[in-house]
Amino acid sequence: MSNQESRLQQACIKWVRYQYPDLIIYAIPNGGKRNAVTGAILKAEGVLAGVADLFVAKATPHHHGLYIEVKTAKGRQADSQRAFEEAVTREGYRYELCRSFEQFVTIIRTYLQPTANSQQPPQ
């Protein structure tokens, strides 16, 4: 994760913790530089390439939970991230790509409004 993506994600988490203190949202720290030993240990523990940056552990009438991938305006999803998106959406989770703080706010507010959460899981 780039420093710009990290700053965006930090601002998003700060906002959501203030606005929705009871919402369970957490980071999945898959990225970052690690030495070979640490990388091997994490892989053995179950780290999976492509997993989104954030997870909202709240089911809605249409989804089991929400994964959010944080990217800069120019950032691109890796092949492993696209594969993860496809896999989790098939399983009934919602997946969003977030490129700005304003977009994050919209994603969260829309997801938490059951009537506005009209995106159906795949059949």
- Domain 3-112: CATH architecture, name and number where available: 3-Layer(aba) Sandwich (3.40)
Cα separation of 4 and 65, whole Å? Answer: 26
Q: Given the DSSP bridges, would you call strands 54-56 and 66-70 parallel, antiparallel or unpaired?
A: antiparallel
Convert the pLDDT of each residue in 18-59 to its tens digit. Answer: 999 999 999 998 876 778 888 888 889 888 889 999 999 999
Distance CA 33, CA 30 (A): 10
Segment 80-115, tens digit of pLDDT: 999 999 999 999 999 999 999 999 999 999 999 965
The predicted model scores a pTM of 0.87
